[in-house]
Amino acid sequence: MIKDLWYKNAVIYSVHVGTYMDSNADGIGDFEGLARRLDYLHGLGVTCIWLGPFQKSPRRDDGYDISDFYQVDPCFGTLGDFVEFTNQAEQRGIRVMIDLVVNHTSDQHPWFQEARRDPASKFRDFYVWSDKKPENADEGMVFPGVQKTTWTRDPVAGKYYFHRFYDFQPDLNTENPLVLAEIRKIMGFWLELGVCGFRMDAMPFVISTKGPQPRHRLRYDMLRSFREFLQWRRGDAIILAEANVEPKNNLHYFGEDGDRLQMMFNFWVNQRVFYALATADIKPLVKALEQTRDRPDNAQWAHFLRNHDELDLGRLTEEQRQAVFDDMGPDKDMQLYNRGIRRRLGPMLRGDWRRLEMAYSLLFTLPGSPVIRYGDELGMGDDLTLPERNCARTPMQWSTEPLAGFTRSSKPVLPVIEQGPYGFHKINAADQRRDASSLLNWTERIIRMRKEVPEIGWGDFKVLDTGNDGVLALRYDWRNNAVVTIHNLRNESTEIQIRLADEKGRQLVNLLTQDHSQAHGRGVHTIVMEPYGYHWYRVGGLGYLLERSNE
Ligand code: NOJ
Ligand code: CA
């Protein structure tokens, strides 16, 4: 039974267990530590936790290289600790979604070990082989600059194997029905242990045909079979896909009739949000919102600002990308894979809290469900001395205690940020909790407000004309209720006019301050927007609702 389309209005919090909270002083965050922090997350108001990979792994790609899909890596605890954690989350009404990394395995996975050793093994065909190095082997790398090829020779097999990502991540052959059966089994296993669904890693690559031939097809039909399996096992479980694709393909992923994936990250909008933040030009963002408007009623976008990877700007024009680089990642060292920025949100917005609040407020009012990243609720920074994406994966800063209260060991799994404006003496949860005007308390308030405005998740949006390319105004309508949200991306105040044609649109009740607005003329509101200002209004307000019910 589908109880509710809970994901239409979820507030998702992304966390890696290893860098959140260490309970046993070995320097590595663990499930016991994470479970102890559930009250913090409950207080913040998030409704779903997305857990990065925690299964057994050599951890050469932060766990996205799994060597046993059915084990918790011992450094994080046991399966028992995991179930305690999901149970305690459930007690607080928080769902737990986990990464499902089945495009590839670690090269240490017994399947791969077996496959390379024994040509007769059923596991040989779990992977993708070629006798010769294919002609296009040096194309299509996901990590250009670090990764040299997508085909590497395995001396044991005497053949080349395909790896879309690093060479220690051989791709699974998802055309093999035995592999698909394993994927279902893995999903079924974790569902039994209490998860509400999966963030499916590298989705377009999972469904692609693979092999030395130059042309490949996408097997979209696979998506429906994943969904069916999931829903047979647990009606309200979902798949949230990592699929950085062009808008014309969105419906292939969601399914025209909403019979494929429930959720996808909206990378298309994400890149244009950053362009808008960098240049205060909302035009490409507005276009992107229109281009990604189409989706089945039961499907939802996941919107985000930063995640655990680099900010991928690969789908902007050269000029647009350069504009974002210039503003937010000018040094080569801040950039990655020729396409992105590897920093955290705080430093990208130069630690300007007005801008951070505005950026977050914008995120929370985009048509979909918001996904936030641990530490961003504090404005945490990055450590650019760490390689690749690790710079934005440093441990959570809990307090001013040694090593930010993350661990009592002197050897944290990744360095804790100590120096400078983002060091834990300056930025930590304990201090911000006591300060009513902190980003942490602000985030808590905006999450509460987002939950009170279900129109954003359920409704239809309209972009309102403000006559100003630096100000985005959206209106959402759902079940006779409406809200209007306005964001000023410029660092200067401005006066805008918006027109709401309907009668109830004469009154706009501000949900965040006392500053309401009354229309003049034919439904025109004149509104002053502060530098980086953001306003959320309920159309008609409570008064209007009361009047209607007296009729
Ligand atoms: C996408 C993940 O987000 C990234 O962190 C990882 O390196 C690749 N997929 C490979 O699994
Ligand atoms: Ca530990």
Report the catalytic residues: 201, 242
Q: Ligand 1 pocket check: which of 69, 101, 391 to mutate, most ligand atoms within 8 Å of Cβ?
A: 101
Q: Whose CA is nearest to atom 4 of ligand 1?
A: 309
CA dihedral 251, 302, 463, 529 (to 10 degrees): -170
Q: Is 476 left (phi over 0), alpha (psi -120 to 50) or beta?
A: beta
Q: Whose CA is nearest to atom 3 of ligand 1?
A: 309
Report angle CA 1, 103, 293 to the nearest 5 degrees: 60
Q: Ligand 1 pocket check: which of 62, 66, 201, 270 to mutate, most ligand atoms within 8 Å of Cβ?
A: 201
* Average pLDDT over the chain, rounded to an integer: 96
Pocket of ligand 1 (CB under 6 A): 61, 64, 101, 165, 201-202, 242, 308-309
Q: Return the pLDDT at 501.
A: 87
Closest ligand by atom to 244 CA: 1
Of 97, 105, 259, residue with least CA distance to 191: 97
Q: Whose CA is nearest to atom 5 of ligand 1?
A: 309
Q: Return the pLDDT at 2.
A: 46
Residues near 471 by beta carbon (within 8 Å), at least 6 away in sequence: 282, 486, 487, 488, 489, 490, 494, 496, 529
Q: Whose CA is nearest to atom 11 of ligand 1?
A: 64
**Order of strands across the sheet that contains 335-336:** 311-312, 340-341, 335-336
Strands (E), 479-523: 481-488, 494-499, 507-510, 517-518
21 DSSP assignment:
-
Pairing of strands 335-336, 311-312: unpaired
Global pTM? 0.97
The span from the CA of 208 to the CA of 317, in Å, is 26
Q: Ligand 1 pocket check: which of 16, 51, 62, 64 to mutate, most ligand atoms within 8 Å of Cβ?
A: 64
172-212 pLDDT, tens digit each: 999 999 999 999 999 999 999 999 999 999 999 999 999 99
| Complete domains list, the chain, with CATH | 3-105+176-451 (3.20.20.80), 110-162 (3.90.400.10), 459-549 (2.60.40.1180)
Neighbours of 424 (CB within 10 A): 29
Residue 250 alpha carbon to ligand 2 centre in Å: 40
Intra-chain end-to-end CA distance of the chain, in Å? 38
Residue 31 alpha carbon to ligand 2 centre in Å: 8
375-387 pLDDT, tens digit each: 999 999 999 999 9
Strand partners, 485: 474, 536
Identify the segments of the chain with pLDDT beneath 70: 1-3, 542-551
Asked if residue 221 lies in contact with residue 255, where contact means CB atoms within 8 angstroms, the answer is no
Q: Which residues of 171-186 are buried (b: 16+ CB within 10 A; e: fewer)?
A: bbbbbbeebbebbbeb
Q: Whose CA is nearest to atom 2 of ligand 1?
A: 201
Residue 30 alpha carbon to ligand 2 centre in Å: 5
Residue with tokens 């969904």: 227
Residue 64 alpha carbon to ligand 1 centre in Å: 6
Residue type for 201, please?
A: D
Ligand 1 atom, smallest distance to 309 CA? 5
Residue with tokens 């902190």: 438
Closest ligand by atom to 73 CA: 2
Closest ligand by atom to 78 CA: 2
Q: Whose CA is nearest to atom 6 of ligand 1?
A: 64
Closest ligand by atom to 81 CA: 2
Residue 434 alpha carbon to ligand 1 centre in Å: 36
Q: Return the pLDDT at 533.
A: 98
476 DSSP assignment:
E
Asked if residue 237 lies in contact with residue 231, where contact means CB atoms within 8 angstroms, the answer is yes
The span from the CA of 17 to the CA of 41, in Å, is 14
Q: Return the pLDDT at 550.
A: 41
Residue 201 alpha carbon to ligand 1 centre in Å: 7
Neighbours of 460 (CB within 10 A): 12
The span from the CA of 415 to the CA of 421, in Å, is 16
